[in-house]
Structures are given as structure tokens and as C-alpha cells.
Amino acid sequence: MTTDSKTQLLEWRTAAQRSFLRWPAGIALAVVIVTAANLSWSGDTGLSIGPIRLHLSDALCIFSCVLVATWPIWYVVTSRAVRSLPGPTVWRQLSACAGLFVLALLAAPRFTVDYRDYDSWSDTDRRDFTTTWVKRSLLETMQEPRFRLDELAWMQSNFSASYIPAQVYCPRRSTRFVPFFGVVRDDYVANALASGIGDEPGRQPPAAALSNAIARCKREGPQMLAAGDTKEAALMKGDVDRFFSLAMRESPPDGSVVLEDAMIPKPIMDRIEAVLKDDANRFDALENANASDFPGQVRRLRPLAVALALGRSGDAERLRKQP
């Protein structure tokens, strides 16, 4: 290396160290390199930082956006300093970085970041609540700019029939998508009470926590149903096409129809009853075909029961293929 090259390198190094962007740009570059290497070696594994969870591909997208937002501005500022030219003010640099970050974020593929709430965990209140922030891709936004879906779940499980009423249902998941962004709120009450699973008194959840959870579900479950963004609300209105459209977007699609028999329109319910008389259908169409053998349990319909009853062979086939 010649003397001139060494001098230029030292000038670049000195000028680069004067810019406040050297740290975010350098860290973003390092993280992108390390994440890409780990992604190629070990695959798209999960990454947890306290209550925050994301995959390596998600981290790669986020820090790539930071790199795109900081590296060009850092380069321009450094090159002008080397040539003894005045550089942009700090506020202009920050504005340019913000603009580049927004553009990079909008152009990025889909990625998600989960945040799990561990704060509500006591003898009087137990919740398993996860919020997932979604960055939607440009293609996804063009195909479906907006989407709303609420999901309900029965509070009672096979292990809690002795102390949770069969009629109680809870909000399970809420999905809201707008152009480029979305949020999914996952509220898993049954899992929050799982540490006390069992019929024996000593294994049941604390009485106050159980009572508060039941009261919350009795209040918030009907509110979510009345909002009209659940498959159950569509079925109650007889909108079968919307019912199956929303059912296929749930996770899992072949879960329960969270409605009591009396809440389902009678013409549909009569056809469902006819289908269930065939034992070959009962075990596929019901979530718990043997419910009558266990005290406190009632049968739970699956969307497949509605598909078979209404002769919707295409929907039935798609539901049967669900893992």
C-alpha cells in the first residue's frame, strides 16, 4: 500500500468517526452479516430477547432496513468531510435516514415480531397474551389491502369440565390488517389456566383467578361475537360463504364452531343433525365425539359438520386436508 493510499485511508477513518451514524450503520452491517451467516447454517430458527420473539429472517429484514437507512447517508457525509466540503446538518441527516427507512420498510418482504405479556400472572388474574406486529409485503397489500378476523374459543377443555361451564366462550385471536402493516392479538385463556389443569381441587387454578377469567370471558366473548367479524357471526346470519371464508383463515381452520345449537339457524341445524346420525361423519364433524361419556362436557361442532350438512364438498375437502 502506497503512502497516498495510507493517507486517504486515515482521512476516511477520521472522517467516518466524526459522524454519529457510524454506530447504527456499523452495527446494522455487522448484524446483517452475522444473521445471514446463521440463517444459511442453521436455517430460520427462532430468536428470543426477553418477551420479544422473532425469527432470523425477521431480524435480517429489520436490520437490512436500518442498514439501507443509515449507510448511504453515512457514506455521503464521510465523503464530503474527506473533501473538506460542508455536510448536511444533523436534522437533515436524520430526516433522510427516516425517509430511507420508511421506503426500505415498505419494500421489505413480510416479517413479524411477537411480544408476549407475562405481567398478568397472579392468584387473581392469569393471562397468556401475545401481540404480533406484522409488516406486510407490497404484493400482499395489493392482493388484500385490509382484513379483519376475530376468533372465539370455548373456555372448557377435556380437563376442566368439572369446574368450567360448558357454555362459556372467550376471545381467542383478533387480526387486523391495513396496507403494509397488521397486528394479531392472541389471548389464550385456557393456556393461562393450564398450570392448574386437573379435576382434583389441589390441581385447579386459584379460585379468584378462575372466577375472574370466567367473568371476563362471559363479558368479552359475546362482545366479540356481536362485533360481527367472527365466522360464528356469519353463520348466525346464514351467510355460509363468509362463514367458510373466515373459517379457512383461522388457526386451525378445523377448530370448533363456538356456538350453542340453539344459536345456529334452525334449517342449518336440522341438516347438521341429520348428518350426525351417520357414525361415519360423527368423529370427523365433532371435536369431541365421545363428550356424552364425560360429565359436564357437551358436543362441539366443527366447520366440517356445516360443510357436510350443506353439501359443500369443496369446503369439506379443504377442511379434511388440514393438518
Give the pLDDT band of residue 289 (cuts 50, 70, 90): low
Could you write out the three-class secondary structure of 97-132? HHHHHHHHHHHCCCEEEEEEECCCECCCCECCEEEE
Look up the pTM and report it. 0.85
Distance CA 173, CA 131 (A): 10
Of 4-13, 22-31, 55-64, 176-185, the poorest mean pLDDT is in 4-13
Average pLDDT over residues 271-299: 78
Q: Note the pLDDT of residue 194.
A: 63
Question: How would DSSP label each residue in 252-270?
Answer: STTS---S-GGGS-HHHHH
Predicted pLDDT at 1: 47
Phi, psi dihedrals of residue 307, rounded to the nearest 5°: -65, -45
pLDDT in tens, 12-39: 666 666 678 888 898 999 999 999 999 9
Return the pLDDT at 46.
87
Residue identified by cell 370455548 is 154
Q: What is the pLDDT of residue 290?
A: 64
pLDDT per position as a tens digit, 255-267: 899 999 999 999 9
> For residue 292, what pLDDT band results from cuts at 50, 70 and 90?
low
pLDDT band at 5 (very low <50, low <70, confident <90, very high): low
Sign of the CA dihedral running 141, 143, 148, 150: negative
Q: Residue 263 CB: number of other CB atoms within 10 A?
A: 13
Rounded (10°) CA dihedral 35, 37, 41, 47: -10
How high is the pLDDT of residue 190? Answer: 76
| Look-up of cell digits 460542508 | 86
Amino acid code (one letter) for 308: L
Q: What is the pLDDT of residue 33?
A: 95
If you search the block for the grid coordinates 367473568, which residue do you land on? Answer: 215
User: What does the pLDDT look like over 67-90, one tens digit per residue?
Assistant: 999 999 988 888 877 777 787 888
- Mean residue pLDDT of the chain comes to 86
Work out the percent of the chain whose per-residue pLDDT is above 90. 55
Model pLDDT, residue 293: 61
How confident is the model over 122-128, as a mean pLDDT?
A: 79
Q: Are 39 and 67 in contact (CB under 8 A)?
A: no
229-257 per-position pLDDT tens digit: 999 999 999 999 999 999 999 988 888 99
> CA dist 281 to 137, 226, 231, 243, 266, Å?
40, 31, 22, 20, 20
How confident is residue 304, by pLDDT bands cut at 50, 70 and 90?
very high
DSSP designation for 158: T
Q: What is the pLDDT averaged over residues 189-206? A: 65
Q: Residue 102: what pLDDT?
A: 96
Output the nine-digit C-alpha cell for 258: 363456538
